[in-house]
């Protein structure tokens, strides 16, 4: 019953959201700014971001302009990346400059990173020197690294300060981050010596030195660290935040768990899309952008399908003599393809999370081979009975059973060896593995079935 109530609530929320989007669209069409502000004025940033994403592209800009000074720039950090880039191109640079000053450093960098260089420089020129330097520092690091993900605002103190000195500093200094839970202890060169949780600081007497209560086992992250590896470290060591250091071990920023959660979600979504061969596309992409994303792997898939057709053509005389072979061929290929996809999906995910490597790959390959054979034995027993009842031929049932065992073995091995091989050569196994695993199962399935039929049945 609880699940039913939750589902009903989800449907209600969705219906309310649909009604709201239509109402906002109507108000924008009537140029009724007051009505627009009443409709969305009480929405929190994630909810307003969802409304903006559901509006037509032209209406998104109109909504932001209608809200004027009441627009919460934090919304821009909640919006889908594709929509955010479209808005960055469409909104005036003056508004983007205001947004950059309101957002955290990492979100501000994401907002303007894909703009034309002239627009980017125009926006940065409108910022205070401290804000401009912080964003430029983020932009210096490659995309999808800890340096691009980090926030440049943090609290750092020397080890000889007392707890009272630190508390007074936090009360009197205006340039501190809006939210923080950790204070970093640094030497004069800004090298990290340790850290102090804010809760521990507040429970310690004022005359105690920071060096006496700091945690020296602090896990640090290089600014050039790939964001996937960063996410793995957060998960492995149960981190809430981590100081980001440069090549000289100097503190340059901090990464917090809320940013890492987004990265984990984005990377999982990216792998899922790549396995389907759709690239990094979004529902907000244009028709041409979507076609460009999907066509390349469809062309590769067309090529592999042609190869499988050549195998069928080589046995055209066999098929002509026994039409039942044409009826049963798709079964062998389909089951093999699904089995290969199962193994491939597990393998790609294991590679992405560093669960599969040189140490355990031989054992896992052997396991998948055995699983393939056992799956083949189970499925072949079922299909042999079905074919005997269907066509009244025990030999035909034996042929398809043997072919299914061969293809199940090929599916298990192909599903793990294709991603492993691509990973070994430094290629992303997610986008291409599906196409080549399907090619293997189609060719092996068709060849084994038709070859065995030509030997045993004709």
In a domain, 5, yes or no: no
Q: What is the mean pLDDT of residues 313-329?
A: 89
For residues 48 and 98, membership in a common domain is answered with: yes
**How confident is the prediction for the chain on average, in pLDDT?**
88
Strand partners, 253: 244
For residues 168 and 223, membership in a common domain is answered with: yes
Last residue of some domain: 226, 253, 275? 275
For residues 45 and 183, membership in a common domain is answered with: no
User: For the chain, what is the domain count?
Assistant: 3
CA distance 297 to 432: 8
The CATH number of the domain holding residue 227 is 3.10.580.10
C-alpha 349 chain-centroid distance: 12
The CATH number of the domain holding residue 76 is 1.25.60.10
Token pair 């031929």 is found at 393
For residues 343 and 250, membership in a common domain is answered with: no
> Tens of pLDDT along 222-233?
999 999 889 888
For residues 316 and 422, membership in a common domain is answered with: yes
The CATH number of the domain holding residue 354 is 1.10.357.20
For residues 255 and 395, membership in a common domain is answered with: no
Q: What is the pLDDT of residue 291?
A: 79
> Where are the extended beta strands (E) located within 147-265?
156-157, 182-186, 192-197, 221-222, 241-245, 251-256
Residue 293: other Cβ atoms inside 10 A: 17
In a domain, 7, yes or no: no
C-alpha 275 chain-centroid distance: 12
For residues 308 and 384, membership in a common domain is answered with: yes
In a domain, 6, yes or no: no
> Tens of pLDDT along 256-273?
888 888 888 777 777 777
For residues 115 and 71, membership in a common domain is answered with: yes
Range(s) of the domain holding residue 313? 287-456
In a domain, 107, yes or no: yes
For residues 241 and 364, membership in a common domain is answered with: no
Last residue of some domain: 97, 122, 143? 143
For residues 118 and 189, membership in a common domain is answered with: no
Q: What is the pLDDT of residue 251?
A: 94
Q: What is the pLDDT of residue 9?
A: 44
In a domain, 2, yes or no: no
In a domain, 176, yes or no: yes
For residues 160 and 125, membership in a common domain is answered with: no
Structure tokens given for 77: 């950090």
Round the CA-based radius of gyration of the chain to a whole number and report it: 29
In a domain, 280, yes or no: no
In a domain, 1, yes or no: no
> Tens of pLDDT along 258-316?
888 888 877 777 777 776 666 667 777 778 877 787 788 788 888 988 998 999 999 98
For residues 304 and 447, membership in a common domain is answered with: yes
């Amino acid at each position: 019953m609880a699940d039913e109530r939750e589902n009903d609530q989800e449907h209600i929320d969705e219906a309310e959201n649909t009604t709201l989007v239509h109402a906002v669209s109507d108000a924008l069409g009537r140029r009724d700014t007051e009505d627009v502000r009443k409709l969305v004025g009480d929405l929190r940033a994630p909810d307003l971001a969802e409304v903006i994403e559901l509006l037509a592209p032209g209406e998104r800009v109109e909504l932001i302009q209608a809200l004027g000074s009441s627009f919460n720039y934090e919304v821009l950090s909640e919006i889908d990346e594709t929509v955010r880039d479209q808005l960055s191109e469409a909104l005036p640079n003056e508004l983007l400059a205001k947004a950059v000053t309101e957002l955290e450093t990492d979100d501000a960098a994401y907002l303007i990173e894909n703009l034309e260089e002239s627009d980017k420089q125009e926006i940065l020129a409108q910022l205070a020197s401290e804000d401009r330097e912080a964003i430029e520092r983020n932009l210096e690091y490659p995309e999808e690294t800890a340096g691009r993900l980090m926030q440049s605002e943090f609290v750092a103190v020397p080890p000889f300060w007392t707890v009272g000195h630190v508390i007074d500093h936090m009360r009197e200094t205006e340039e501190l981050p809006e939210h923080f839970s950790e204070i970093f202890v640094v030497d004069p060169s800004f090298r990290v010596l340790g850290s102090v949780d804010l809760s521990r600081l507040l429970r310690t007497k004022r005359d105690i030195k920071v060096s006496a209560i700091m945690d020296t086992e602090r896990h640090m992250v290089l600014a050039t660290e790939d964001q996937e590896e960063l996410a793995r470290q957060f998960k492995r060591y149960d981190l809430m935040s981590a100081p980001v250091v440069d090549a000289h071990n100097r503190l340059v920023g901090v990464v917090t768990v809320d940013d890492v959660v987004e990265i984990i979600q984005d990377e999982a979504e990216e792998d899922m899309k790549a396995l389907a061969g759709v690239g990094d596309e979004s529902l907000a992409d244009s028709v041409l952008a979507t076609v460009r994303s999907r066509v390349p792997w469809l062309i590769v898939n067309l090529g592999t399908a042609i190869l499988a057709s050549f195998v069928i053509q080589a046995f055209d005389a066999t098929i002509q003599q026994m039409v039942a072979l044409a009826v049963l061929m798709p079964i062998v290929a389909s089951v093999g393809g699904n089995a290969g996809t199962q193994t491939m999906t597990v393998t790609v995910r294991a590679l992405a999370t560093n669960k599969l490597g040189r140490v355990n790959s031989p054992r896992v390959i052997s396991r998948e081979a055995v699983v393939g054979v056992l799956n083949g034995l189970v499925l072949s027993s079922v299909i042999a009975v079905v074919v005997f009842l269907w066509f009244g031929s025990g030999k035909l049932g034996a042929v398809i059973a043997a072919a299914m065992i061969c293809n199940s073995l090929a599916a298990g091995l192909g599903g793990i060896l294709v991603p492993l091989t691509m990973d070994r050569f430094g290629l992303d196994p997610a986008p291409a593995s599906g196409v080549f695993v399907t090619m293997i199962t189609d060719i092996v399935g068709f060849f084994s079935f038709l070859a065995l039929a030509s030997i045993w049945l004709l």
